Structure 1
């Protein structure tokens, strides 16, 4: 029987929403958020920025300190959405699936995934949705886990034992191929310790 990864993610993050930022998972997630904030440039004023897997909303707050944005957070966990909405009322937070983004075609300037891509049951479906909802020239940003030496062992472990909705950790070349096959053009790809970072844009 196959796992329902989204239900597993929802249950896990519902349980941990209020204490997430103080947890070990939250501590590790902070490295990805800071990396994104350091490297991402958003040129458009009041850009519509969607954080997929937004958790407590911290990344949107960090990005908004660099420049004014119209921030939207999407998370599979209604408890995370509720907590983030109370914490950062200046942003819009929605509960929903990355497999079916609840946005109109060409309505977003930037989509960010911070340590959330490995939770998506169908990365191809998410990338198709990202392509649909991004404006022409819009930017997709993915910061993901990088564990090159033990990735295979780790993936076998999470397949058997993980109850947190983890699906698979990808290597750099596979992520690049997924982006390319979805029609994105890579404009920045980096590897740094346990982080792999991609910025890609929708073709003009």
Structure 2
């Protein structure tokens, strides 16, 4: 898994300076704008964006509210840019399976166009569930690929030795949510964005906390 993180960091370090002009960067910006419209942020919320890139999603979510934003990414250059562009937010280099935060901290956790890079997707969702406050919600935004293209992409990536990505289906993500004890599932398809979210129960213990 270390090799996967190092490979991702190297790729995005190279892209960081002009990320928004790349094909993947333009797609991410488009998805972020749709997520910003759909996610309800309140004053005093704490928000964590995992795979935050240059920080634009986190900035958009916190722009009109007195909310505290935290972003993590494996790319040092992405974090450098985010920290320079948005000094009022908190950024650090970290991977999806190395989130050093207290449990029950964030009302909102987001992932946009990055989940397919996470080496331990189910474990990340288990961790995110613990980091959420009771009643908090995890949002995962992905490109709304037709199912045949999603499956074909997964097959192609298995063949290519340099690719270590997995694009799970909506059903698979909902299964991970359920296994983590999350509830109140929502699935939104908005233009190019497929956003899948789930809520941490207000009072029930999560399976890993029982």
TM-score by length of 2: 0.89
- For residues 11 and 62 of structure 2, the distance between their equivalents in structure 1, rounded to whole angstroms, comes to 28
1:94 alignment partner in structure 2:
92
Tell whether the 8 Å contact from 1:146 to 1:169 is kept in structure 2 after alignment: no
2:206 alignment partner in structure 1:
none
Structure 1 position 47, deviation (Å): 0.8
Tell me if 1:198 matches 2:193.
no
- For residues 77 and 161 of structure 2, the distance between their equivalents in structure 1, rounded to whole angstroms, comes to 21
Instruction: State the SS of the aligned residue for 1:190.
Output: strand
Instruction: State the SS of the aligned residue for 1:142.
Output: strand
Tell whether the 8 Å contact from 1:110 to 1:138 is kept in structure 2 after alignment: yes
TM-score by length of 1: 0.91
2:160 alignment partner in structure 1:
161
Q: After superposition, where does 1:51-66 map in structure 2 within 5 Å?
A: 51-66=49-64
Structure 1 position 166, deviation (Å): 4.9
1:122 alignment partner in structure 2:
120
1:12 alignment partner in structure 2:
11
After TM superposition, the runs of 4+ consecutive aligned structure 1 residues lying more than 6 A away are none
Q: After superposition, where does 1:31-70 map in structure 2 within 5 Å?
A: 31-42=30-41, 44-70=42-68
- For residues 129 and 29 of structure 1, the distance between their equivalents in structure 2, rounded to whole angstroms, comes to 24
Structure 1 position 88, deviation (Å): 0.7
1:169/1:194 Cα in 2 relative to 1: closer, same or farther (>3 Å)? farther
- For residues 185 and 166 of structure 2, the distance between their equivalents in structure 1, rounded to whole angstroms, comes to 24
- For residues 199 and 66 of structure 1, the distance between their equivalents in structure 2, rounded to whole angstroms, comes to 22
Instruction: State the SS of the aligned residue for 1:21.
Output: helix
- For residues 45 and 3 of structure 1, the distance between their equivalents in structure 2, rounded to whole angstroms, comes to 37
Task: Using CA pairs under 8 Å that are at least 6 residues apart, name the structure with larger relative contact order, 1 or 2.
Answer: 1
